[in-house]
Structure 1
Amino acid sequence: MEESTRSEQPAHRVPRRAVLRTALAAGTGGFLAAACGPGGDDDASPFTGERRTGEHVLAVKVDNVAAARPQTGLQHADIVYTEQVEAGLSRIVAVFASDIPATVGPVRSARESDIELLRQFDRPALAFSGVQGKLLPTLEAAPVLLLSPGELSDGYERDPGRRAPHNLYLKARRAERAADDASAPRDIGFRFGAAPKGGRATDQETVRYPAARTTFTWSADRRRWLVAMDGAPARSRGEGRLAPATVVIQYVTVRSSRFHDSSGSVTPYTETVGSGDALVLRDGKEYEARWSRPSANGGTTFTEAEGGRRLRFARGQVWIALVERKG
C-alpha cells in the first residue's frame, strides 16, 4: 500500500484566503466569516489552530476493533471523534482538511448519528464502506457528499494482508480530488491559544464505552496525549503513536436508534445537538467545561464551567470522545 506522506496544495487551486474573501464579498453570512481567526490568526485552521487549513472537509468512518488496529492515516486528521456503536464497541469519525494522507482506514459503515454530527461542517464529504438499506434514503437526503465504494470505485483498495471486513482502505487524496463540491473548513466553535487559568494537573484519563476503552496519557516530552486502546498503545501504521494536542471528553445522550445490525444488536444514536458537561485535557491539565450546540447546522462551543469563558484548545489535532453522559 502507498505510504502516507505530507500532502502539498495543488498549484491550480484557489488559495483558501481568496476563497474566504470571495465568499464574504458575496454575503454568505456571519458563520463563515467567523471561521477567520478562531485562535486570533486569520490564516489559522478553524479545526487545529495551526497555519495549514486545506480546501475541502473529508470525513472518514474508520474501524476501531482490535482486528482493525493499527489503523492508517489517523495521525493526519485534524479532528478525531470516537462514538459508541453496536455491542458497546467504538468507531471513529476522522475529519481531514489541512493534511490529506495517501491512505486512511480500515473504512467501515456509516450510522444515522453521523448525519447530525457532520452537519456542523456544512456539506462535507463522507467516505464509508456502506450502509444498511433502511438508512440509505436518509443518508442520501442529508447535506453530505457521499463517497462510498459505489460512488468512488477507484478510490478504495483491499489490503490482502488483512481479513474482511477490516481490510478496506480509502485512497484519501483521490477522494479529496473527487470531493471538489465538498465544503471548505469553517468555524465549528473551537478556539485556540494560551492555556486557561486554573485546571487540575493530571497525567492520565480513561474513556469507557460498554465494551471498549481509550486512555490518554500526558507526555511532557512530546507535549501531547498518548493514546492507548483497550490497554495497548494506539499507533498509526508506519508512523508511530497517536498523540493529539487536545482531548475533549464530551458527555452526550446516547439512545437507541431505529436500526439494528445483522446480529440484532440495536444501533446507538449519539446526540450531538444540545448541551452538557465536558472535560478538556491540554498541557497536562484537565478543565471542567460545558458544551453547547443549539442547532444541527451550527458549531459546538466549549466554555469554562466557572465563568462561562470560551475554553481555548492547544494548537494541533483535537480528539473528541463522545461518551454517554453521567447519571
Structure 2
Amino acid sequence: MGFVWGPSGTRGRVRGRTAAGIGAVALGAALTACSGGSGPETAVPPGAEGERPSGKPSAPATHPFTGGRSGLDNPVLAVKVENTRPALPQTGVRSADIVYVEQVEGGETRLMAVYSSKLPSRVGPVRSARISDLHILPQFGKPAFAFSGVQSKMKKYVKQAPLYDISQENAGSAYFRAGSKPIPYNLYASPKSLLKQAPKAEGPRDIGFRFGPAPEGGKPLKTFTAKWPSTRMSFTWSAKQKRWLSAHSGRTNTAAEGGVLGGQTVVIQYAKTTRSKFHDFLGNYTPLIETTGTGRALVLRDGKAYDTRWSRPSEGKGTTFTTAGGERMTFAKGQVWMVIVNDGEPRIP
C-alpha cells in the first residue's frame, strides 16, 4: 500500500503499484523558480514488445515519440527550458522529440523538451521545474529530468516522483554558464553529460502517439496562434519545409543553431488550468495544469487542422487523441509540439 498526493496536497491511500508508479508522483504543489524567479503506424503495437534475455523489454519497431527509426533504445531525458524574451534564441530545442509548452507564473510559458532519438551538444537556457512537470512525466516511466532547481519545500515531492533528478544541484558538472545573457538566462547543460548522471533512465515507451498518413477531413490552415495571459506563440505552415514554423509574440522563433523552431505536428491541448497552493518569490501563483481526464484538442499537420478529443486515464498512462469519428488521430513523423493552453479564455489563475 502506498500514498498518492492530490491537487490540494491531501494524501490518500492506493493499493498496489501501477505500471508507471503513479503512487510516487508528487501532486498538488507547485514548483517555483530557484534561480530567480492503411491504418496508422503504431509506435508500440500491442504485444510488440518482447523480452531480451536480460528481461529488459526490447526496443519498439518505431520510435514512439517521433514515428522514426533512430534512437529506439536510447534513454529518455526531459529538460526545462526558459521561454521568455530574454532567453531567446534557445539552444537544443530543435533536436527534441517532443516540446511541451506550459503556462507558468505571471501568464508566461516555459518549455519542457523531451529527448530520446537524438541529443544536441548543449541545451538551454535551463530553468527551474514546475508542479505540472510532475503530472506530465510519469507517462514516460522513469526518465532523467534536468532543471536548474526547485523551491526548497518542493524537493520532497520531486524526490517521490518516478524520475531521476539530475538537476543542477545533483549534476552540477553537466551544467555551465555561457554567452552574453545575464543570469539566470545563461545556464546550459550537456545532455550527454546529464545522462551519465542517470545511467538507469528508462527508454522510450508508448505514450499514446500514433504516426501515419493523415486521416480524412481536416480544415486547411495557414497559421494558428496559442494565447496565454502574458504571451502568445504562433505556428505557420511551411509547405516547403513540411512543418509548422513558430513565432514568439509576433517575432520569428529562431533557434540558436540556425533555422526556425517548429514541428511536423503541433497539438493544441486544451486543459483546465487552476491555482496550485504554491507561488513564486514575487507572490504570483504557480498554475496547476490538469493533464489527466479528457478534453478537446486541435491537431495541426500537413497544413490542416483536425478537431480531436484527448484522453488520459491516469498519470501513468499516455494521452490518446481521437477524431470526431472515433478513430485514433495520426501525427506526421518528426518533432511534436504539445502546446497546452487553458480550456477557456486565457487568464491568470
Matches within 5 A, 1:245-260: 245-260=264-279
> How far does residue 296 in structure 1 lie from its aligned partner after superposition?
0.7
| Correspondence for 1:11 | none
Please say if residues 226 and 233 of structure 2, whose CA atoms lie closer than 8 Å, have aligned partners that are also in contact: yes
- Pairing 1:22–2:51 present: yes
The equivalent residue for 1:4 is: none
Single out whichever of 235-244 and 202-211 deviates more from structure 2.
235-244
Contact 2:262-2:337 at 8 Å conserved across structures: no
Range moving further from structure 2, 230-239 or 220-229: 230-239
Q: Which residue of 1 aligns with 2:211?
A: 192
Q: Which residue of 2 aligns with 1:182?
A: 201
Q: Which of 119, 139, 142 in structure 2 is aligned with 1:123?
A: 142
The answer to whether the aligner puts 1:153 opposite 2:172 as a matched pair is yes
> C-alpha distance in 2, partners of 1:22/1:237?
41
What residue is the counterpart of 2:119 in the other structure? 100
Deviation digits for residues 95-114 of structure 1 (CA, Å, limit 9, x no counterpart):
00011111000000011111
State the shift of 1:326 in Å.
2.4
Counterpart residue type for residue 335 of structure 2: Q
> Once the 2 structures are TM-superposed, how far is the Cα of residue 54 of structure 1 from its aligned partner?
4.4
3-state SS of 1:227 partner: strand
Is the contact made by 2:234 and 2:250 (CA closer than 8 Å) also made in structure 1?
Answer: yes
Superposition map of 1:46-195 within 5 A? 46-52=64-70, 53-195=72-214
Matched residues in 2 for 1:256 and 1:23: separation?
45
Does structure 2 retain, via aligned residues, the 8 Å contact 1:202–1:286? yes
In 1, Cα distance between the equivalents of 2:203 and 2:51?
13
2:329 alignment counterpart: 311
Tell me how far apart the structure 2 counterparts of residues 24 and 67 of structure 1 sit (CA, whole Å): 50
Distance 1:148 1:82 in 2: 20
Question: Closer, same or farther in 2 for the Cα pair 1:160/1:193, shift >3 Å?
Answer: closer
Which of these residues, 295, 318, 328, is aligned with residue 276 of structure 1? 295
Aligned-partner residue type, residue 229 of structure 1: H
Query: What is the alpha-carbon distance in structure 2 between the residues aligned to residue 225 and residue 277 of structure 1?
Result: 20
Displacement after TM superposition at 1:178 (Å): 2.2
**Are residue 323 (structure 1) and residue 341 (structure 2) matched?**
yes
Contact 1:56–1:179 (CA under 8 A) maintained in structure 2? no
SS of the residue corresponding to residue 240 of structure 1 reads coil
- Match of 1:212, as an amino acid? T
| Aligned residue in 2 for 1:3 | none
Mapping for residues 166-245 of structure 1, pairs under 5 Å: 166-245=185-264
> Once superposed, what is the RMSD of the aligned Cα atoms?
1.5
CA–CA distance in structure 1, aligned partners of residues 285 and 237 of structure 2: 35
- Once residues 24 and 80 of structure 1 are traced to their aligned partners in structure 2, the CA distance between those partners, rounded to angstroms, is 34
Change (3 A) 1:218 1:174: same
| Contact 1:54/1:99 (<8 A) preserved | no
CA offsets 1:5-42 (integer angstroms, 9 cap, x no match): xxxxxxxxxxxxxxx5436984x8xxx78x83xxxxx2
Q: Give yes or no for contact 2:174–2:190 (8 Å, CA) kept in 1.
A: yes
Q: Pick closer, same or farther for the CA change 1:24–1:323 going to 2, 3 Å.
A: farther
- CA 1:209/1:307 → structure 2, altered by over 3 Å: closer, same or farther? same
CA, structure 1 residues 189+137, in 2 after alignment: closer, same or farther (shift >3 Å)?
Answer: same
Identity of aligned residues (%): 48
**Which of 285, 309, 316 is 1:266 aligned to?**
285
- Give TM-score scaled by structure 1 length: 0.88
Q: Distance in 2 between matches of 1:164 and 1:87?
A: 19
Structure 2: gaps spanning 5 or more residues: 1-48
User: Structure 1's 159 and 257: CA in aligned 2 closer, same or farther, altered over 3 A?
Assistant: same
Deviates more, 1:168-177 or 1:87-96: 168-177
CA distance in 1 between counterparts of 2:97 and 2:257 reads 19
Paired with 2:193 and 2:68, the residues of 1 have a C-alpha distance of 24
Tell me how far apart the structure 1 counterparts of residues 53 and 100 of structure 2 sit (CA, whole Å): 30
CA contact (8 A) 2:254 2:261 kept: yes
Q: CA deviation at 1:171?
A: 0.9
Pick one of 278, 291, 296 that aligns with 2:310.
291
Q: Tell me, what secondary structure is at the counterpart of 1:22?
A: coil
Q: Conserved in 2, the CA contact under 8 Å of 1:289 and 1:303?
A: yes
Relative to structure 1, the CA distance from residue 236 to residue 54 in structure 2 (aligned partners, 3 Å threshold; closer, same or farther) is: farther
Secondary structure of 1:116 counterpart: helix
Does the residue aligned with 2:139 lie in a helix, a strand or coil? helix
Q: Distance in 2 between matches of 1:238 and 1:76?
A: 10
Q: Residue 3 of structure 2 aligns with which residue?
A: none
Q: CA deviation at 1:292?
A: 0.2
Q: Report the alpha carbon displacement of residue 149 of structure 1 after superposing the two structures with TM.
A: 1.3
Structure-2 separation of matches of 1:257 and 1:211: 19
Superimposed CA distance per residue, residues 226-250 of structure 1 (whole angstroms, 9 cap, x where no aligned partner):
0001111111102311120000000
